[in-house]
Structure 1
Amino acid sequence: MSEIKPFDPSVPQDEVDRLFRKLKDTRLPQIPVVPDADDDYGQFLNDFSWPDAQKQISKWYHYTTEIENLKVYFIHEKARPSGSDQPSFDLVVPSLPGSCWSQGAPRGWTLQDTARIYDVLMKRLGYKTYVAQAGDWGHWVVRELGSGRYDACKAVHTNRSTTILLAFMMFIGEEYQELADPNLKTATLENKQFNHDVCTMLPLYFFTPPPIITSMLCYYNNARHEVYTKFNAKEKNLIRVPLGVSTFPYDAFPVPEKGAETTTTNLQFFKEQDHGGHFACMECPKEMVNDIREFFPRFYKP
């Protein structure tokens, strides 16, 4: 059995210097590409502190282990007393293969394969039973964990039922803005915490060993967007453990309750939030925590 190894997420200073050097050397358009767009690209270069971000990242407990010849990187935090009657949970937060410090998977690797190694990870950490929560691509992982093929998984919750460097950073930033709730004004330059969080996430694609392309293989190796509905509704892909769904109005594909019912035999919790978007854990962390605390304890006791 492969051991669990503590992992140091510190980024060498020469890599940090290289990133900032490449950004400074980027040739920008002479005129705005988008009408009325500001030409101030200094948010990351001038207002963001990587040392502060590094300190924030390093306060968590980081580990790696090898499963099926893949190095899997994850954060593992033990539950802390909440000081109230609210339930608390241990957290195991792995990076998908090819993302962050997790090793890139071989060609043809699907998110169903990822679910299999995550089940191994949980058992390796000593959990005889567990519950799983995720959105976006992680949604497909928890769907598989909740398929009934993994006895240890007792319930799942999801908030979604269905230069190049600078260009990529602009693309990700645009995605955060487009799929955020405009009424909350979280994805704005004025929201320093939101911008700090986005700027902290972006360099990890540059600093960590797997290139950004490996994290995008899930678009190629898994079900295409146009067949999501049919894929989810297939008998073998139905979620059979208790399912909880939180949906947010500004998500890319807000899911109605009837839609969620077509993907499971066991919908036990459904809540339509009146605000929030695709990145709900960033925009609406309290609402997400409250939903999880309301749903999971009905089917799982830590």
Structure 2
Amino acid sequence: MNPHDYCQDKAAKSGSSFYYSFLFLPPERRQAIIALYALCREVDDVVDECHDVQVAQTKLEWWRKEIGRTYGGQPTHPVGLALKDVIGRFNLPQEQLLEIIDGMEMDLTQTRYLDFKGLQLYCYRVASVVGLLAAEIFGYQDRQTLKYAHDLGMAFQLTNIIRDVGEDARRGRIYLPIEDLQRFNVPAKQIMDARHDDNFVQLMRFQAQRAQQYYDQAFAHLPPGDRKTQRPGLVMAAIYRTLLREIERDGFLVLDRRTSLTPIRKLWLAGSTWLRA
């Protein structure tokens, strides 16, 4: 299996909605975004699957060195080898790839966020930076598109947080800011115990409104001239906003279940959005 096939396999097996946004790209750009996505999956798996913090930190440090080897032309991992082929072609800054790893490492050392400002840094590192790198791969003429990519990444991560509240709580993490929990009178223990009530629904409705604001901001920033090249992001937005509406329609039943869209529905949203953009 060559490095790009390894990344393709990693992306396909993840079952992520992101994979559907890559399907219609030209081969060269699809290869690049899948290599970037495979890196994100590798470092995310370190955090989620390694229960010893020190071991996880050691593995993330290995990935930092692998990024350095990749930019030095001597990677050793299939993902590094795949990235070596594309980083120069698409002007992907080393510092941004390292910042993604910094974001993943936050999950090892921080399980609560006092306020939204603190959460914003986490979302920026694990999602907005990925959006900025993706914008380089997809191509743009107007630098205003980078503001679109930043805000869309924020919107995606906030949607993930809403969808995964219960799953994250079972891992000992609550991303909802403490100031928001206090505002809506939802103790952290209630989330850990998966107790759904009206206060929790109001809390989650507030989180959903915040995510929707970021979607709206992102679209407002996207220049018409870059709309076609940035279609993969619009595909992802269509899938994620549909998911968010499903969660809202179900009354935010996210503490003991994980709402998802069927592959057929994702494919339909991807195709129809691509054709309209």
TM-score (normalised: structure 1) = 0.28
Larger radius of gyration: 1
- Whose helix fraction is larger, Structure 1's or Structure 2's? 2
Identify the structure with the greater strand proportion: 1
> What's the TM-score once normalised by structure 2's chain length?
0.30
